């Protein structure tokens, strides 16, 4: 019996405004609890909300970055429920006339092998039910304060922070599709500056609705809602865990309950948070204190004009303009600062392939080890470009270049300065290279005999030995030429 996995996702992304969506309080993270509050976000009687224009601009950026249509009119609505972190007793959200509805976006996705490496990348269309604007609730605090076993504490700094909620249709068929989608959305929002989209700080939150059904069936199975997914990887694992649990329960003749479950990343399992027996009735009605939100086509056009070139368009341009592979171009657009870094490097060295290789292999390794983004790199793109030019001109070898880059990364010095300091020059003198080759050949009679007997794969061994004998200084092109002639005997 084969099973089909069905997943739908909801993302809440905090829009990167300075102030809250309906009042002037700061949205800063990490301030003293309740420092950033006022009568509006405290829900005091008589206080009136005023919509923050910047939140609408960033909401529009988010929608456009995802290729969604923006409705010229949307309506704010009250979503009524009681919870201690919701001082008004309702949340201002959008309901039947959201900011954007019935959209679709295309992601690139791939299943992964046992080691987590992508198999074959393919495009997949995901239907977006809606993207709407709303305010965040506050936070209950149960840790780090006196007598937390007796009291609940409430921090309302987050109450009223603007969010874009993005809801999909149940279109995902595997945990990796969901993983690739959340990364796509996160990157898109960061790219256009709509949201920091940092899951660890909680300014991008994700919930997954998961169910399974027997292959060929039309009816959906009982679904479970997963929360507390603090990273994209945890979300993927939580979905895998749930799918396996569902299949096991159903195959052993059991029944699943519709419930909300939390991911526990220490135990690596989900556990019940609450049952969904009593469905919420939020009694939505239009917010009487806010007029309909009207956005003109001029407004949308002006937002579009301010946006940078989007990642997918940039990837296609990299492939065409610089002759990069799909995989190389995809890696370079994984972050906007990295794509910028690449293009700035190309401008200096004029060698796109070289720039892509140096960034992907050498620079990213250093950045990762130092926990830095491309924008924070101690080696500016112009400096990397200059280094690549020196290698292309044959002044130093590629191998020396790697050491120079590590030194540049440590000291922030220019490649030129390091090369002078360390007396690095590429050995291109054929006479000196010839004598190194003679030494290597004399020291390796057995490999030489095998090579001459037809084992040509040993050529690489000899090249390696000569380069090593030159302490990495020998020009590999010359070594190749001279060695081939000498090995013939
Ligand atoms: Zn306020």
Where does 333-414 have alpha helices with state H? 336-349, 352-357, 364-370, 381-392, 398-411
- If one compares 109 and 428, the residue with the highest pLDDT of the two is 109
Q: What percent of the chain has pLDDT over 90?
A: 80
Model confidence at 279, pLDDT cuts 50, 70, 90, reads low
Spell out a b/e string for 347-370, using b for 16 or more CB atoms within 10 Å of the CB, else e. ebbebbebbbbbbbebbbebbeee
- Whether 114 shows a pLDDT value over 70: the answer reads yes
CB neighbours (10 Å) of residue 469? 18
Q: Ligand 1 centre and the CA of 37: distance in Å? A: 4
Specify whether the CB–CB gap between 68 and 133 falls below 8 A.
Answer: no
Q: What is residue 329's DSSP assignment?
A: H
Q: What is residue 74's DSSP assignment?
A: E
Q: Ligand 1 centre and the CA of 35: distance in Å? A: 10
Q: Which of 326, 325, 344 is nearest to 336 (CA)?
A: 344
Question: What six digits make up the tokens of 52?
Answer: 């923050």
What's the chain's average pLDDT? 93
- Whether 206 shows a pLDDT value over 90: the answer reads yes
> What pLDDT, on a 0 to 100 scale, did the predictor assign at position 195?
97
Q: Ligand 1 centre and the CA of 22: distance in Å? A: 7
Model confidence at 421, pLDDT cuts 50, 70, 90, reads confident
Question: What six digits make up the tokens of 289?
Answer: 């204190």
Q: Ligand 1 centre and the CA of 134: distance in Å? A: 15
Q: Ligand 1 centre and the CA of 85: distance in Å? A: 14
Q: Ligand 1 centre and the CA of 101: distance in Å? A: 29
Residues around ligand 1, an ion, CB closer than 5 A: 23, 25, 38, 40-41
Q: Which of 254, 271, 242 is nearest to 174 (CA)?
A: 242
pLDDT one-digit tens code per residue, 339-396: 999 999 999 999 999 999 999 999 999 999 999 989 999 999 999 999 999 999 888 8
Q: Ligand 1 centre and the CA of 18: distance in Å? A: 12
> What pLDDT, on a 0 to 100 scale, did the predictor assign at position 427?
81
Q: Ligand 1 centre and the CA of 23: distance in Å? A: 5
Q: Ligand 1 centre and the CA of 431: distance in Å? A: 78
Q: Ligand 1 centre and the CA of 287: distance in Å? A: 18
Q: Ligand 1 centre and the CA of 27: distance in Å? A: 9
Q: Ligand 1 centre and the CA of 242: distance in Å? A: 39
Q: What is the pTM of this model?
A: 0.83
Q: Ligand 1 centre and the CA of 30: distance in Å? A: 16
Q: Which of 200, 258, 269, 271 is nearest to 225 (CA)?
A: 258
CB neighbours (10 Å) of residue 448? 18
Q: Ligand 1 centre and the CA of 282: distance in Å? A: 24
Q: Ligand 1 centre and the CA of 5: distance in Å? A: 43
Sign of CA dihedral 330, 331, 332, 335: positive
Q: What is residue 310's DSSP assignment?
A: P
């Amino acid at each position: 019996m084969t099973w089909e996995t069905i997943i739908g996702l909801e993302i809440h992304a905090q829009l990167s405004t300075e102030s809250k969506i309906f009042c002037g309080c700061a949205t800063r993270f990490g301030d003293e609890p309740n420092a950033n509050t006022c009568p509006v976000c405290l829900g005091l009687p008589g206080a009136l909300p005023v919509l923050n224009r910047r939140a609408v601009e960033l909401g529009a950026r988010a929608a456009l970055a995802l290729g969604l249509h923006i409705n010229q009119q949307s309506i704010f609505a009250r979503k009524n429920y009681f919870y201690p972190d919701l001082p008004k007793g309702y949340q201002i959200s959008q309901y039947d006339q959201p900011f954007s509805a019935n959209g679709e976006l295309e992601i690139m996705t791939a299943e992964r092998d046992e080691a987590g490496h992508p198999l074959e990348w393919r495009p997949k269309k995901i239907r977006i039910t809606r993207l709407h604007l709303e305010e965040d609730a506050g936070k209950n605090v149960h840790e780090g304060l006196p007598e937390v076993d007796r009291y609940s504490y409430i921090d309302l700094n987050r109450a009223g922070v603007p969010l874009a909620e993005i809801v999909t249709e149940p279109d995902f068929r595997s945990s990796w599709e969901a993983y690739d989608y959340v990364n796509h959305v996160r990157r898109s929002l960061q790219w256009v500056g709509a949201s920091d989209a940092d899951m660890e700080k909680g300014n991008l939150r994700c919930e997954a609705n998961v169910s399974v059904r027997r292959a060929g069936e039309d009816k959906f199975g009982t679904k479970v809602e997963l929360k507390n997914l603090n990273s994209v990887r945890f979300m993927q694992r939580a979905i895998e865990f749930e799918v396996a649990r569902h299949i096991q329960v159903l195959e052993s003749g059991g029944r699943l309950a519709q419930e909300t479950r939390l991911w526990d990343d220490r135990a690596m399992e989900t556990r019940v948070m609450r049952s969904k027996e009593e469905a919420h009735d939020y009694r939505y009605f239009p917010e009487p204190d806010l007029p309909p939100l009207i956005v003109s086509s001029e407004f949308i056009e002006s937002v579009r004009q301010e946006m940078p070139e989007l990642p997918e368009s940039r990837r296609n341009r990299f492939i065409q303009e610089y002759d990069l592979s799909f995989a190389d171009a995809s890696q370079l657009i994984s972050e906007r600062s990295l794509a910028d870094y690449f293009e700035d490097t190309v401008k200096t060295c004029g060698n796109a392939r070289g720039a892509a290789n140096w960034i992907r292999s050498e620079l990213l390794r250093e950045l990762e080890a130092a926990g830095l983004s491309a924008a924070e790199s101690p080696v500016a793109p112009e400096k990397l470009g200059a280094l690549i030019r020196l290698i292309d001109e044959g002044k130093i070898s590629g191998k020396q270049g790697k050491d120079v880059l590590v030194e540049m990364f440590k000291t922030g010095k220019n490649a030129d300065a390091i090369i002078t300091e360390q007396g690095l020059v590429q050995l291109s003198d054929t006479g000196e290279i010839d004598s190194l080759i003679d030494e290597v050949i004399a020291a390796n009679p057995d490999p030489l005999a095998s090579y001459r007997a037809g084992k040509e794969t040993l050529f690489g061994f000899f090249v390696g030995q000569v380069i090593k004998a030159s302490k990495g200084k020998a020009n590999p092109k010359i070594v190749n030429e001279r060695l081939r002639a000498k090995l013939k005997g």
